[in-house]
Amino acid sequence: MPPELSLIISNDDERRLAKASSWEEMSHIKKVEPVNDDQAIYYDNSGGIQRLTIMAKGDYNQDGIEDIVLHMANAVERGSYSSSYGYVLTRLTADAPYTLIKQF
């Protein structure tokens, strides 16, 4: 599970970016707990927990580059908030960073 996947889908960081005046105001991943090859749990310094699971891999748009379908369960430490999202990610070239195509 590549760590950069959690940063691509971080809704919280999008909201913080609009108000942040420094990098320190953004959330930072403080711990990554691998569960298996297809799942990891990311903990950030603001109490957020993201459980990312790779649901499928394949070249779904026939461009020769592997695409990824992710499921994210989002929660807050010692809180009652939770959400669940699906994401489709790809790379524009084989060595490019992942790009978010669709959130559902």
Residue with the two structure tokens 């005046």: 21
Rounded Cα distance, 94 and 84, in Å: 29
Q: What is the DSSP letter of 94?
A: T
- Identify the band that residue 69 occupies on the pLDDT scale cut at 50, 70 and 90: very high
Question: Is the Cβ–Cβ distance between 39 and 1 less than 8 Å?
Answer: yes
The pLDDT value recorded for residue 31 is: 86
Answer whether 0.85 is exceeded by the pTM.
no
